[in-house]
Amino acid sequence: MGKSYFLSDKDLPLNDLWNVWFQHDGAPPHKVSSVQQYIRVTFQQQVIGYGGCVEWPPRSLDLNPLDFFLWGYIKQRVYATPAPTLQELRNRITDACASVSHAMLYKVQREVQSRVQMCIVAEGHHFDHDR
């Protein structure tokens, strides 16, 4: 045990925590040595992307629901108006994450499946995913 996760035991059953992977997008803040050390200690061999044991293919972000859905949704809710305090910003982020419904996640899952199918048809080459 002894591992530190952002998730609490209440969020996921313990056996699921062992299946958590960190997907590293190569953002400069994630390359800081202290961050890299935390990622290595916390996720060990379960890192996808920069410095991980599984490389993230270049130009493949269209298949990533964090990029095509979650970050835009969260930013839209959090930054609708300027946050007056750091605590208010934290509250907005927490509230925005909590507002993601099962129905939304189902739609995102369907979109991932659709995009993967388009990628297969395009044999891994560029494809238009806008509808």
Quick one: how far is CA 129 from the chain centroid? 20
86-130 confidence digits (pLDDT tens): 999 999 999 999 999 999 999 988 888 888 888 888 887 777 766
Give the residue extent of every domain in the chain.
1-56, 61-122
Instruction: Say whether pLDDT at 131 is over 60.
Output: no
pTM for this predicted structure: 0.56
Instruction: Say whether pLDDT at 56 is over 80.
Output: no
Tell me which residue has tokens 């494809």: 127
> What pLDDT, on the 0 to 100 scale, is given for residue 21?
81
Question: How far apart (Å, rounded) are the C-alpha atoms in residues 95 and 76?
Answer: 12
SS3 54: strand
> What pLDDT, on the 0 to 100 scale, is given for residue 8?
43
> What pLDDT, on the 0 to 100 scale, is given for residue 15?
62
